[in-house]
Homo-oligomer: A and B are copies of this chain.
Amino acid sequence: MLNSYTSADKVLLAVDCIIFGFDNEDLKILLIKRDFEPEKGKWSLIGGFLKKDEVLNDSATRILNRYTGFHDIYMEQLYTFSEIDRDPVERTISVAYYALINVENHNEELIQNYNAKWFSINEAPKLIFDHDKMLKHAISRLRYRTSTKPIGFELLPEKFTMRQLQKLYEAILSKELDKRNFISKINSLDILIKLDEKDMLSSRKGSYLYTFDKEKYEEKLMNDFVLNL
């Protein structure tokens, strides 16, 4: 029976992040053009290596911060990928995370520095290694998430219209939703505050702006629920 720690093999542990954003039309992911070998010049998820005295979540946070400049990013562990040759350089196990951020207020400069770019998930280029598989997983998890947790706070601007929220759900679920049914389902969650203010940019009539009721939102984040759209 193997009971000796010292005889066990050690491996490299990477963390790769699928960063989702939303531009009022499409669901997007942030990719970088790798500037080192192997696969230099190819598109890749952002990632890095786990440090010796670092918890995985902290590692993901550090990596996310490095590429976006953000602290406090919503993020969840996804799955751990371990195919032998997934990384041709050296055996590397990768723990994938996905994150949700607001496209609008992230750091342009950082994006430039890192040769990063937002892609619609439908128009994303082929990615290196097994990153395409990770992305698929992430999308599927994000879809599931819509049925058990509120979503939007992390992806939308502070104030947003009902239409924007609906577009977000449509982008994630990749299907069209009925406006009236959507509104009544969302309202039944009781997490929105209707403001006395209209957005006049997107229509002649103008549409009311909403914000999330942060307390109620976070309470739902903790305690799941069911939402069938």
**A53's contact among B8, B52, B84, B93, by CB below 8 Å, is which?**
B84
Segment with Cβ contacts to B, from A10-18, A157-165, A172-180, A203-211:
A10-18
From A47, which residue of chain B is reached at the shortest CB distance?
B2
A123 interface hit (Cβ, 8 Å) = no
- CB-CB contacts of A4-47 with B at 8 A, as 1s and 0s? 01001111110000000000000000000001100000000000
Q: Which of A54-79 contact B (CB under 8 A)?
A: 54-57, 77, 79
| CB < 8 Å neighbour of A93 from B5, B13, B57 | B13
Contact of A84 among B36, B55, B93, B114 (CB under 8 A): B55
B2 touches A91 (CB 8 A): no
How many A residues have CB within 8 A of the partner chain?
A: 35
- A6 vs B56: C-alpha distance when bound (angstroms): 19
Which of B55, B77, B80, B95 touches A83 (beta carbons < 8 Å)? B55
- Chain B residue at minimal CB-CB distance from A91: B52
Q: Is the CB of A3 within 8 A of B36?
A: yes
CB pair A80–B82 under 8 Å, yes or no, is no
Question: Using Cβ atoms and an 8 Å threshold, which residues of chain B touch A93?
Answer: 13, 50, 56
A90 at the interface (CB under 8 A from B): yes
C-beta contact mask, A92-105 vs B, less than 8 Å → 1, else 0?
11010000000000
A57 cross-chain contacts in B, Cβ below 8 A: 82
Instruction: Report the Cα distance A91→B83, complex, angstroms.
Output: 22
Residues of B within 8 A of A3 (CB): 35-36
Q: List 29 A-B contacts (CB under 8 A).
A: A1-B35, A1-B36, A2-B48, A2-B49, A3-B36, A5-B12, A5-B49, A5-B89, A5-B90, A5-B92, A8-B12, A9-B50, A9-B51, A9-B52, A10-B11, A10-B13, A11-B11, A11-B50, A13-B13, A13-B93, A50-B93, A52-B91, A53-B91, A54-B84, A55-B84, A56-B80, A56-B82, A77-B80, A80-B95
Rank and list the top 6 A-B pairs by shortest CB-CB distance, nearest first.
Answer: A8-B49, A10-B10, A9-B52, A3-B36, A56-B82, A80-B80
